[in-house]
A and B are shown apart, each in its own frame.
Chain A
Amino acid sequence: MENDNSNTDSRRWFLKTISSGGILAATGLALGTFTSCKEKSAEKTTLLTTDGKLVQVPNSEIEAMEHLHQGAPPMEAREGISGKKWVMVVDLSKCKNARKCVDLCDKHHNLTPDRPYIKVYEMKDNEKSSPYWMPKKCFHCDNPPCVKVCPVGATYKRTDGIVLIDNERCIGCRFCMAACPYSARVFNWGDPPEGKLDLPYSPETSLPSKVGTVAKCDFCPDMLRQNKLPHCVPACPNGVIYFGDEIDDTVTNGEETVRLSTLLKDKAGYRYLEELGTKPRVYYLPPVDRLFPFEKNTEENSES
């Protein structure tokens, strides 16, 4: 049993090193793990930097770099992640408005609670049916109305399916906001409330936000580049949000991994307002056989 523990520990430790070295070359990673394997984490690690130099870095600093991790700069961010088609499935039968996805999204995108990227709507399809919660992000449509209307190409569709905004290009005409039928976009009407963030700008993190430009849910491509799930997915205590690669035909909510096609077939997955022809990349599973009763009290709900 003891042995078992140490085994999982080592695996965890290994994963941690992978994530912390995210911006460093993969070769450096392998090398680093080899040389540092028997050392304690307080000691130095040899890593290969992107420009081919071997450097000794204290492990504590590698940790620090994880928090400073940046998405790609504006021009590179226009390239999608090769060979991927990101897709999201939201299981409405499991959502009880715990709002952890909203909180974590707000935290990572430096948003104030009054204008989140993720909104959880209280929906009721008709008078007789019962209400349900519907988390909504950007749908990253394959026929995106917002991208079509952008006069300067500030918002664009990447090859991996993600619709991003370049806040250094955006002129603030807000045509995309008018065009989006899902009200997915928010505008930086004034200076960002969090003040100045001392980071180089990246459309992949939407940070730091810029006054007079549009913003929205970005599917966290900075995380995807590190092979990690977007922040909202593991945040959900009820496993509502599934995320994955359509080409893989697999989605995961962090715990459960299922085939996308099977999930959509078995649970009658649908896309919101399919008739508009926007071809969203976010699917919903209908709110049938609910896990939770519908409670309005959000404080109660957030206790998972």
Chain B
Amino acid sequence: MNTVIQKEQEYRTKRGKALLGHTVNTSLKYKLWIAFLLLVIFIGGYAYYRQLKFGLVVTAMRDYTSWGIYISNFVFFVAISLVGSLISSILKLNKNDWSRPLTRVSEIIAVAAIICAAVIIIVDMGRPDRFFYVIMHLRIQSPIIWDVIIISTYLVISLLLLYLSLLPDIALCRDRLTAIPKWKKWLYRIMSINWSNHPKQIETHHKITKLLAISVLPVAFAIHTVTSWLFATTWRPGWDSTNLGPYFVSGAFMAGAAVIIVAMYLIRIHLKLKKYITELHFEKMGRLLVLLSLVYLYFNINEYLGPAFKMVGVEGEHITELFTGKYAPMYWFVQLGGLILPIVFLIFKPFRKPLPIFIISIFVVLGAWFKRFLIVIPSLQHPYLPIQDVDESYLHYVPTWEEWAITMSSFAWFLLIITVLIKLFPVIPVLKEKIDSETINKLNVFKNEKS
């Protein structure tokens, strides 16, 4: 049946066929994958229902560890969302043409991540029913408000970034995919807003794409810097640091690059796009990952050396607990397995082949997630005053199944959004974005005709 439909589509070119194929072919594997994600989301939904019913008491959070994996997961998603700007803005502005096939996927990841970040922060609220108080009673002095402003701004900007680069391709889908369900036709027609490759449209599109690529940069830096300020504006050990902004931003770039590599590998395998996502891309991304990891390593050293050297009071206790205490296994897994070893391996070319770099990137992503756990939780367990006179459950933090289920379902949402977007739209830009000489000629002719 699939093959029949394919014959009816007007792919016109081989490139078109390869890049649009995945939007119309639905395999059993895909259906199973969606079903699995929905199951995880459903379990998370049940856990969240329990949390709404009984309150945050269903979590392992208590008065000392008052922020748990919800917040560390939030920071992780904010970090991931930075990739959109990294690939589609920085690399684009630098005229790195090799990265063009990666822009779409990085923009999709950015959109999915920022949506999940925004939702997970609501999950963490003790009174989600009062969410709109944040707007009604807004206090501009609070870093949370800065974060709410910047997250909503970045959400809009990353949607625009995705949409702008999609626009010509949506029109392409509208024109070439003829044998598709009605709703899909309708969707492409509405979303393509009369795009007709008119030279003037191309010119405007080119202009605003560049404008957006520039303006997304400060916003992207701001989103993670402001998130770091949620921590840096307090006196907690490990948070009370002037280094926290660049530390978070550099960590986010590293984690984002690793997420892209993971996504590249999976898309390349499952959508059969080996011709478009080549070994060269892995090679280049591997080099980029080493560079970003080195920057992050530099800020890591800055973050820990000072306090470890001085060993001041609770700051010293906190560092000791990370280095040799309860959190040492996780800490050294993160620092060695998620940062130093990947750098060492990726320096050598054979490890920048698709499969090895895919595995290394998984470690980097895992390390990035647990790193955020280590940033949020141990700091809260080292207050200035001793922890005494409280219930035994206040002394340690082991996330409950509800917390894990909700966290897992946030990942399922993340993957579901990505999967659905890839299903709807070509994951690799089909049309070239550059204004070629032919278009310029057309435009000139058009202008002359008018005058």
Contacts and interface: CB of A to CB of B under 8 A. Distances in A.
A189 B64 CA distance: 12
Counting chain A CB atoms within 10 Å of each CB, the highest count among B55, B386, B390 belongs to B55
Interface in A156-213: 169-175, 177-179, 181-183, 185-191, 211-213
Contacts of B124: 173
Interface stretch (B98-106, B141-149, B315-323, B412-420): B141-149
Interface residues of B, number: 45
A140 interface: no
B228 to A, nearest CB: 13
A151 interface: yes
A190 B142 contact: no
B285 to A, nearest CB: 36
Contacts of A213: 126-127
Interface of B is mostly: loop
B127 A174 contact: no
Contacts of A228: none
Contacts of B126: 170-174, 187-188, 211-214
Counting chain A CB atoms within 10 Å of each CB, the highest count among B137, B384, B389 belongs to B389
B127 A172 contact: yes
B208 interface: no
Nearest to A211: B55
Contacts, number: 137
B88 to A, nearest CB: 31
B398 to A, nearest CB: 15
A182 B125 contact: no
Interface in B206-245: 230-231, 233-236
Contacts of B236: 178, 181
A18 to B, nearest CB: 36
A174 B144 contact: no
Contacts of A273: 384
Interface stretch (A33-41, A78-86, A115-123, A256-264): A115-123
A107 interface: no
Contacts of A121: 385-386, 388-389
Given A145-B235, A183-B383, A151 B55 contact: no
Nearest to B388: A121
B115 interface: no
A115 B63 contact: yes
19 contacts: A119-B388, A120-B389, A121-B385, A121-B386, A122-B386, A145-B234, A148-B142, A151-B144, A170-B126, A171-B125, A171-B127, A171-B131, A171-B133, A179-B235, A183-B63, A185-B63, A211-B126, A212-B55, A212-B125
Given A115-B391, A151-B144, A172-B127, 15 more contacts: A120-B389, A150-B142, A152-B130, A152-B136, A152-B138, A173-B125, A175-B143, A179-B233, A181-B236, A182-B385, A183-B387, A185-B63, A187-B56, A187-B126, A276-B235
Interface of A: 114-116, 119-123, 136, 145, 148-154, 169-175, 177-179, 181-183, 185-191, 211-214, 273, 276
